[in-house]
């Protein structure tokens, strides 16, 4: 969504595992550590449950950037869900480059439940990265076709 000619506020979707990343987001809030309001959190039972279709649909539906946040390596409550999620993100990044959207619009981050500050830093840095990239080209093309 563009607010004016030079001001672009990205829509960022964060798929957060229930046990670690979502709890880290909650901790950030409890500690009053600010992060951008344009980060929309989707709580999932495990980052490994996020499939490529979820990532692609988020972009198709208007997200300018998407990230998956899971447990630290070796600490996944479902053993290897975070490793599976990382593989899926890597495959989607390759696909996004191939179709011209750009792999930098999607990332994978690992954190523990006690990392509220890390969650806020990731959310802030990723949002700034997407802001610098500009609007999602899929959304821009759809807006142009409609308007």
90-105 confidence digits (pLDDT tens) = 999 999 999 999 999 9
Q: Taking the domains of the chain in order of start, what are their residue ranges? A: 12-146
CATH tag, 12-146: 3.40.50
**In a 10 Å sphere around its CB, with 0-12 CB exposed, 13-18 middle and 19+ buried, how is residue 76 labelled?**
buried
59-88 confidence digits (pLDDT tens) = 999 999 999 999 999 899 999 999 999 999
Rounded to the nearest integer, the mean pLDDT of the chain is 92
Count CA within 13 A, CB hemisphere, residue 67.
Answer: 23
Q: SS3 of 12, please?
A: strand
Going by the DSSP 8-state scheme, the letter that residue 71 receives in this structure is P
pTM of the model: 0.90
2-46 confidence digits (pLDDT tens) = 444 468 999 999 999 999 999 999 999 999 999 999 999 999 999
């Amino acid at each position: 969504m563009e607010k004016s000619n030079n001001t672009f506020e990205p829509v960022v979707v964060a798929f957060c595992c229930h046990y670690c990343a979502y709890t880290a987001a909650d901790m950030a809030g409890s500690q009053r550590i600010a992060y951008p309001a344009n980060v929309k959190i989707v709580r999932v039972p495990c980052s490994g449950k996020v499939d490529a279709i979820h990532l692609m649909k988020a972009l198709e539906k208007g997200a300018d950037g998407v990230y998956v946040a899971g447990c630290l390596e070796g600490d996944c409550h479902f053993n290897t869900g975070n490793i599976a999620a990382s593989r899926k993100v890597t495959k989607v990044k390759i696909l996004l480059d191939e179709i011209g959207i750009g792999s930098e619009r999607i990332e994978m981050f690992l954190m523990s439940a006690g990392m509220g500050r890390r969650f806020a830093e990731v959310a802030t840095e990723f949002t700034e990265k997407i802001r610098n990239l500009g609007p999602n080209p899929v959304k821009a093309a759809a807006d142009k076709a409609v308007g």
